[in-house]
């Protein structure tokens, strides 16, 4: 990929990132942070790619370490976010607590 | 295993990136939040299966990768399932820190594999950024964990001459970072990693307990940018897009959290250095 293509992707993704969370309600700050945290665990793909090509034992060991750490970030991140939201929706399911569709604009 | 053609893999990476956008969108609204998180997990699963099926593995490296993924999952799932509601923020901090650490280690491995013959100067620059900021996120996040856990004091800790030290570490970080970008030397990369750890400590130590969640959010955005830089260095669009999404949304979220608590981000980070206390 050319540098300019990468820069274009970077700028466009930054705008999308700002746009999708711009209307978040303050009750969702922590789950949203946790969900975003899980998403950057996708560095696992990078860790797997560098480990795949490694030939010296030291680099293979470091690659295994990076893969392990990234897996903890990715898998743990999504599981803990789900648990947060499970409790969240449990408390919210009381009837008429929040008008249905208030956030569906 | 290399059974997926590169073109198919790229389309699947694009699908994963779309899942991540939908996940963040879903997480912004109470009714769709849980579904949004599941869409994100689906995207991650697609991406990991794709990389496993579209990459040539040397020697027994596939076994190393599968073993590491297995052990990582075996550690992370019970930790995330059993954690108490009140302890969730520090667990998120740990997960964020190890993600930053993984990105920094990936950067070191890249420098070693290129061994001075990097594809472009842009690639080594992005790698230097990933090593420095990834290490900052790693130690910074571990310290926020210790503060929230009560293992260390939650009061602001100001080491003597913290301000000048911070400036010195930043200047050294940028200087060594430029040296890594120019030479691609792996040992300079290790020095950069250590400087990043120092920066993480200097950044988080002066922050008071009540402000720690905001700093976790900021370090989360840092790790996002680190992953974006890794994607830049490896010419991997999924890492680039996913990392940038988290970097941008994490920055907005940090500002929103600070506003909701009536605090300013610069006040939180540098208040204790200027003599004013940070809440805690």
pLDDT on residue B116: 65
Q: Are residues B67 and B90 in the same domain?
A: no
Q: Are residues B33 and B148 in the same domain?
A: no
pLDDT on residue A97: 42
Q: What is the pLDDT along chain B (280 residues), one digit of tens a residue?
A: 788 888 999 999 999 999 999 999 999 999 899 999 999 999 999 999 999 999 999 889 999 999 999 999 999 999 999 999 889 999 999 999 999 999 999 999 999 998 867 678 889 999 999 999 999 999 999 999 999 988 888 888 888 888 889 899 999 999 999 999 999 999 999 999 999 999 999 999 999 888 999 999 999 999 999 999 999 999 999 999 999 999 999 999 999 999 998 888 888 888 777 765 455 5
Q: Are residues B239 and B207 in the same domain?
A: yes
Name the residue range of residue B39's domain. Answer: 1-82
Q: Which residue is associated with the tokens 């988080």? A: B204
pLDDT on residue A90: 55
Least Cα separation, residue A3 to chain B (angstroms): 8
| DSSP H helices in B115-185 | 121-149, 162-183
Q: What percent of chain A has pLDDT over 90?
A: 70
Domain boundary among B82, B103, B134: B82
Q: B234 contacts in A (CB within 8 Å)?
A: 46, 49-50
The count of other CB atoms within 10 Å of the CB of residue B80 is 25
Q: Are residues B46 and B173 in the same domain?
A: no
Q: Which residue is associated with the tokens 């002066």? A: B206
Number of domains in chain B: 2
Q: What percent of chain A has pLDDT over 70?
A: 83
Q: Are residues B69 and B110 in the same domain?
A: no
Domain boundary among B37, B64, B82: B82
| Partner-chain contact A82 B61, CB within 8 Å | no
Q: B103 contacts in A (CB within 8 Å)?
A: 43, 46, 70
Residues in chain A with pLDDT values less than 70? 89-105
| Partner-chain contact B95 A59, CB within 8 Å | no
Q: How many CB contacts within 8 angstroms connect chain A with chain B? A: 346
B262 touching A (Cβ < 8 Å):
no
Q: Are residues B276 and B252 in the same domain?
A: yes
pLDDT on residue B278: 56
CA-CA distance, B64 to B70, in Å (whole number)? Answer: 10
pLDDT on residue B119: 77
Q: Are residues B235 and B96 in the same domain?
A: yes
Q: Are residues B75 and B93 in the same domain?
A: no
Domain boundary among B43, B64, B82: B82
Instruction: Give the three-class secondary structure for B264.
Output: coil
| Partner-chain contact A24 B28, CB within 8 Å | yes
| Partner-chain contact B96 A37, CB within 8 Å | yes
CA-CA distance, B100 to B141, in Å (whole number)? Answer: 9
pLDDT on residue B279: 54
The string of pLDDT tens digits covering residues A86-98 is 877 655 444 444 4
Q: Are residues B146 and B77 in the same domain?
A: no
Q: Are residues B61 and B104 in the same domain?
A: no
Q: Are residues B91 and B163 in the same domain?
A: yes
Q: Are residues B158 and B280 in the same domain?
A: yes
Q: Which residue is associated with the tokens 């969240």? A: A88
Backbone angles phi, psi at B28, to 5 degrees: -85, -5
């Amino acid at each position: 990929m050319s540098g300019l293509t990468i820069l274009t992707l970077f700028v466009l993704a930054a705008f999308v990132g700002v746009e999708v969370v711009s209307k978040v309600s303050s009750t969702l700050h922590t789950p949203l942070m946790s969900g975003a945290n899980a998403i950057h665990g996708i560095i696992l793909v990078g860790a797997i790619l560098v480990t795949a090509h490694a030939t010296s034992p030291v680099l293979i060991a470091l690659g295994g370490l990076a893969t392990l750490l990234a897996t903890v970030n990715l898998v743990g991140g999504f599981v803990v976010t789900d648990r947060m939201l499970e409790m969240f929706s449990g408390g919210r399911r009381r009837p008429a607590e929040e008008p249905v569709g208030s956030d569906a604009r | 295993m290399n059974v997926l053609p590169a073109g198919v893999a790229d389309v699947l990476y694009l699908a994963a990136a779309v899942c991540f956008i939908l996940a963040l969108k879903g997480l912004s609204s109470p009714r769709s939040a849980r579904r949004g998180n599941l869409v994100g997990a689906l995207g991650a699963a697609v991406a990991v299966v794709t990389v496993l099926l579209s990459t040539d593995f040397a020697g027994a490296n596939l076994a190393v990768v599968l073993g590491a993924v297995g052990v990582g999952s075996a550690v992370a799932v019970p930790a995330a399932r059993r954690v108490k509601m009140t302890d969730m923020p520090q667990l998120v901090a740990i997960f964020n820190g190890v993600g930053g650490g993984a990105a920094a280690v990936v950067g070191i491995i890249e420098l070693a594999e290129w061994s001075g013959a990097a594809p472009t100067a842009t690639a080594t620059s992005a790698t230097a950024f990933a090593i420095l900021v990834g290490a900052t996120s790693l130690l910074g996040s571990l310290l926020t964990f210790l503060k929230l856990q009560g293992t260390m004091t939650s009061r602001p800790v100001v080491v003597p001459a913290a301000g000048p030290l911070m400036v010195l570490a930043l200047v050294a970080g940028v200087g060594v970072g430029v040296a890594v970008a120019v030479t691609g030397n792996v040992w300079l990369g290790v020095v950069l990693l250590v400087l990043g750890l120092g920066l993480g400590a200097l950044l988080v130590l002066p922050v008071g307990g009540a402000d720690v969640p905001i700093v976790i959010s900021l370090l989360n955005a840092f790790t996002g940018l680190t992953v974006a830089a890794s994607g830049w260095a490896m010419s991997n669009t999924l890492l680039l897009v996913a990392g940038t999404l988290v970097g941008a949304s994490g920055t907005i979220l940090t500002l929103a959290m600070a506003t909701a608590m009536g605090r300013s981000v610069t006040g939180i980070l540098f208040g204790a250095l200027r003599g004013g206390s940070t809440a805690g």
